[in-house]
Structure 1
Amino acid sequence: MSYETILYEKDTTDKFATITINRPDKMNAMNKTVIREIDAAVAAAVADPDVNALVITGAGRAFSSGYDLQGGDFDVDIDFWRADMSENAEALLNIWRAPIPVIASVNGYALAGALELMMCCDLAIAADNAKFGEPEVRHNSGPPALMMPWLLATRDVRWLMFTGDMVDAQEALRMHLINKVVPADQLKEKTENLARKLARMPVPALRYTKASINNQQMVAGLMPSFQYNIEAIAALHVTRQGREWMANLAKMSLKEYLAFRDDPFKGLD
């Protein structure tokens, strides 16, 4: 299968594949095509008996800056947002559900929806220059998939989701957002070494172990919490301030919009 916005490559030595978000000129911002192509590639990897592990990364200097804020019609109702966010959340959950281990290899920025994507992966290795955050709270939005409370301590969840602050790789490691930090020039090598290790494991052992870990989260209420979040954030988007922010997005350039969003918080760290 050919893709427009991602690369899908199988290793020639070991049984793992790599999905690379390939929009480096846009910091790998994720539009609907990206989301759907990642979902299709994950399904292809899961169906392939010659793929025992999967890596997701980004081209250029970012893992991904998050959902693409340009080019959409945001003067929409709650039904649109419910459907939109449900599709996004389902695609991310398909990464979490995949019966093979999935590694996020984080080169540079992993923000907003891309941070949610990273957290839906089983493991995460980050370059020492990577940055992480949920800045969408600053423009009256929120994540489509609420994975963070299932990984982090509540204090850290509230900090990231209330402030929109970015954290560096060492702080992300302390928070357990990621498993390991490596020098940026070693990220590909270290990620592939881990993928090779996982690809050589007995396949049923990882499949059943992942199923058991996921079941623990489901029993604890992960799926209802995702559904509640979809309804809550869809409603947030159609509040008065939500519509005002969407109107700003329609009439401003992305550079103007991000400055308008972030300038009130400068000098407060």
Structure 2
Amino acid sequence: MSDALLIREDSNGVCQLTLNRPDAYNSLSMELMKALIATFDEIAEDLSVRVVVLRGGGRGFCSGHDLKQMLGEGEEEYYQCTFDTCSELMQRIVNLSVPVIAQIHGVATAAGCQIVASCDLAIASDKSRFATPGVNIGLFCSTPMVALSRSVSKKHAMEMLLLGDMIGAERAWEMGLINWVVDDEHLEKKTREVADKISASSRKAISIGKQAYVRQIEKPLNEAYTECSRVMTENMMTHDAGEGIDAFINKRKPNWQHR
């Protein structure tokens, strides 16, 4: 495997990003977080990408922040910079114009669990495990809480945050943290099937819809409907909406132009 902290592979509209710190369970060093931010910025401008798959190399998905690096620095300014950078990364995932799918094997803990909660979809191996265990080391998972509380119910989020226990994939699915649990040997196949299905749709429509979802979810009901009525009107004016409707009426396959 490459020495790069982050490995990017593109194929048929699917961009696969592999966290590549296997000896450290892909913990989020400052360098890895900055590499992810830079890559998401590149993807945002790359119209050939229609969906992103985020996965971990080695034995697990991501174990959270690199605590050894943080303690080695040992200064308040560095800690603030670390958590600010992590927050910036999570917002890049949420605000990216194309969907991001987490492909999880092994552990996804603390900021690793935060990544899963920030992604649009999550597919996990039946052997994967999840936790926000900061309370066990005197460091409450406050920034992971932001993503977790927007992904699962209040009581499920507080269960994970207050107990800090490791939960299995089935429990994570019951909570709504992940979408699918599959046999470990089928994880990559299932992820690719989901990614390919999204990639086959209009990038323009998906982008409009994802960004509208992020904007409307925190609005009062009437404001959300006002916003999304405007968005659907905007969407109707695109080339792909006209193409898709015509293809549906005439029972043919649409020819997306992604505009």
Equivalence for 1:28: 26
SS across alignment from 1:51: coil
Equivalence for 1:9: 9
Which residue among 109, 117, 123 is the counterpart of 1:111?
109
Opposite residue 139 of structure 1, the aligned amino acid is I
Equivalence for 1:76: 75
Unaligned runs of 5+ in 2: 221-259
Matched residues in 1 for 2:17 and 2:142: separation?
A: 22
SS across alignment from 1:99: coil
Matched residues in 2 for 1:99 and 1:198: separation?
A: 13
Which residue among 25, 38, 41 is the counterpart of 1:40?
38
Equivalence for 1:121: 119
The structure having more radius of gyration, on CA atoms, is 2
Equivalence for 1:215: 215
The answer (yes or no) to whether the contact 1:112–1:143 under 8 Å persists in 2 is no
Q: How far off its partner does 1:84 sit?
A: 2.6
Which residue among 39, 56, 59 is the counterpart of 1:58?
56
Of residues 50-59 and 138-147 in structure 1, the stretch that sits farther from structure 2 once superposed is: 138-147
The 5 A counterparts of 1:143-162 are 143-145=142-144, 146-162=146-162
The 5 A counterparts of 1:188-203 are 188-203=188-203
Aligned-pair identity in percent equals 27
SS across alignment from 2:217: helix
SS across alignment from 2:101: strand
- Kindly provide the CA deviation profile for residues 203-232 of structure 1, in whole angstroms up to 9, marking residues without a partner as x: 121111111110123437xxxxxxxxxxxx
SS across alignment from 1:57: strand
Distance 1:63 1:136, change over 3 A: same
Equivalence for 1:247: none
SS across alignment from 2:212: helix
TM-score by structure 2 length? 0.79
Aligned residues: 216
